[in-house]
Amino acid sequence: MKLYGFTNCVLETPLQTGRAYQDPFNDITLDAVITDPTGAERRVPGFWAGENQWRLRYSSALPGLHHVRTVCSDGSDTDLHGREYQIDLAPYEGSNPLYLHGGLRISDDRRTLEHADGTPFFWLGDTWWLGLSKRLQWPDEFRQLAADRVAKGFSVIQIVAGVYPDMPYGDPRGENEAGMPWDIDYRSINPDYFNMADLRIAALANSGLLPCVVGAWAYHLKWMGVQKMKDHWRNLVARWGAYPTVWCLAGEGAMPYYLSETRDDDIRMQREGWTEIGRYVREIDPFARPVTIHPTNIGRDQVTDDSVLDLNMLQTGHGDQDSIPNTIRSIVSSYDREPTMPVFNSEVCYEGIIGASGARIQRFMFYTCMLSGACGHTYGANGIWQFNRAGDPYGASPSGWAWGGDPWDICMRYPGSAQLGLGKRLFERYDWWRMRPCPDRIEPRWAEDNYRASYAAGVPGQVLICYLPHGWPATVHGLDANASLRAYLFNPVDGEQIDIAEITPSADGDWETPKPPVRGDWVLVVEEAAGEAAT
């Protein structure tokens, strides 16, 4: 048998057994040993799809013949064990960047993400924690929101694999069209839940949005136990590992359940447990997808051994302007931390949360994080993470209070999401992946006694980008007085560009910027490579 497909695209093999297993999920396992055209072998886990159905999913960046041999833990089941066939992959020639350039890896300098072929990847994420539940209806609503995010320039969706935040397990708000993902006692999965989730994950990838799969909200580990959580993760890797994904081990990794009375013990258990699970995920994932964990503040502190992580996620607060100091401190300290790891803010000041954190704070967090060394940024809108619906708001958390009630389709149009997309496109004019913080090149610059002053980062020999939170005139340092320079002001609200006619640095390389036409936050761009922007 020979199957045909394209590089970096998922190819599925359906298998059916004639045997009736009493508990298929727990009684047997299925893998495939796949030899690629170079002779390298990978062991790819398969998954139970319900009744007597099993599936194998595979993808590779290598064109040519891939030889498959199935391995079942029940060696006597010849329907599942010892099957051999070939997969013939032709080069993908479409336009989807995830399939054209492949899944993600960490860049050589350990600062950013890039595709398998070396193409830089700009992380602009959106937060859909409950996006696999029926609170966002499939297919129309799901596709509507995905299309909106693609149009605005988002590249990642952070989404939880059924074991959700802000609720105990079994809460009906966590159901999809097929119910809950696990039995109430965590004995076995509900394969129909995951079959429905498969459609959503595939839809994201096929639209060019990379799924950042959060395995579970961390406090569920206390109830499931480490072994069942490993079983859960094996199912996720088998189903979605062939897609270009990022694995997020857990949400709020070290945070106990909201009403826990044993918080210190729970924190210790969760840090140890998620570290063990992180090692397990790395061991069983044949596709080597990047691994991270969503934190209570800094991801690297949520585990006992941060070598299980590739990416350092942050969560720095939902207090509007009160969250600024912790945000900047966390980004800067994480950027400087050794060994080097890409860092970005994965949750900060959801737009509209508690009636605050509007578009201006969204812009502030995006630009200040990016200019302080982040490899990207994740946006969130309060009514989208939990999918409030008209007439059916998410309601209260276990603590007894709600975060806000605007429905998701209203929140989809909050201005911050479009404005962050404008910012991403601005950075993408240049070699943003080579950008490094240089706060001393702008004055007044931010400091610990004034986080609302200016921020700067640059690509050596190409561009200096400065964020001016109040639009006050500033002094740029370090310019070459003999170079041909070009500068402009970029309006982060609407993307308007205002060219600056004359740039005359002093002999010391200082230049006083002009006053913007309107008070507000502005981005100053100084091109330092003979006036030529990168393509």
Between CA 362 and CA 348 the distance in angstroms is 9
Q: What is the pLDDT of residues 32-68, one digit of tens each?
A: 999 999 999 999 999 999 999 999 999 999 999 999 9
Q: Mean pLDDT across the chain, nearest whole number?
A: 96
Q: What is the DSSP letter of 130?
A: T
Strand blocks (E) in 365-485: 376-378, 436-437, 442-443, 455-459, 463-468, 475-476
pLDDT of residue 482: 83
Which domains are present in the chain? 2-93 (2.60.40.10), 98-428 (3.20.20.80), 436-527 (2.60.40.1180)
User: Which residues, other chains included, contact 154 with Cβ-Cβ below 8 Å and sequence gap of 6+?
Assistant: 124, 125, 126, 209, 379, 417, 421
Mean pLDDT of 175-187: 97
Residue 473 tokens, joined: 């005139």
Are 467 and 473 in contact by the 8 Å Cβ rule? The answer is no
Rg (CA), the chain: 24
- Percent of the chain at pLDDT > 70 equals 99
Q: What is the pLDDT of residues 300-323, one digit of tens each?
A: 999 999 999 999 999 999 999 999
Between CA 291 and CA 268 the distance in angstroms is 21
pTM across the whole model = 0.97
Q: What is the pLDDT of residues 142-175, one digit of tens each?
A: 999 999 999 999 999 999 999 999 999 999 999 9
Between CA 365 and CA 367 the distance in angstroms is 6
Question: How many C-beta atoms surround the C-beta of residue 445 within 10 A?
Answer: 18
**Amino acid sitting at position 523:** V
The CB-side HSE value for 459 (13 A sphere, CA atoms) comes to 20
Can you give the length of the chain in residues? Answer: 535
pLDDT of residue 336: 97
pLDDT of residue 533: 39
Q: Does pLDDT of 532 surpass 90?
A: no
User: Which residues, other chains included, contact 359 with Cβ-Cβ below 8 Å and sequence gap of 6+?
Assistant: 351, 414, 415, 416, 419, 493
Are 366 and 376 in contact by the 8 Å Cβ rule? The answer is no
Q: What is the pLDDT of residues 449-506, one digit of tens each?
A: 999 999 999 999 999 999 999 998 999 999 998 888 999 999 999 999 999 988 989 9
Q: What is the pLDDT of residues 353-407, one digit of tens each?
A: 999 999 999 999 999 999 999 999 999 999 999 999 999 999 999 989 899 999 9
pLDDT of residue 529: 65
Q: What is the pLDDT of residues 125-147, one digit of tens each?
A: 999 999 999 999 999 999 999 99
Neighbouring-strand partners of residue 176: 179
Q: Does pLDDT of 10 surpass 60?
A: yes
pLDDT of residue 272: 98
Q: Which residue has the tokens 């495939």?
A: 32
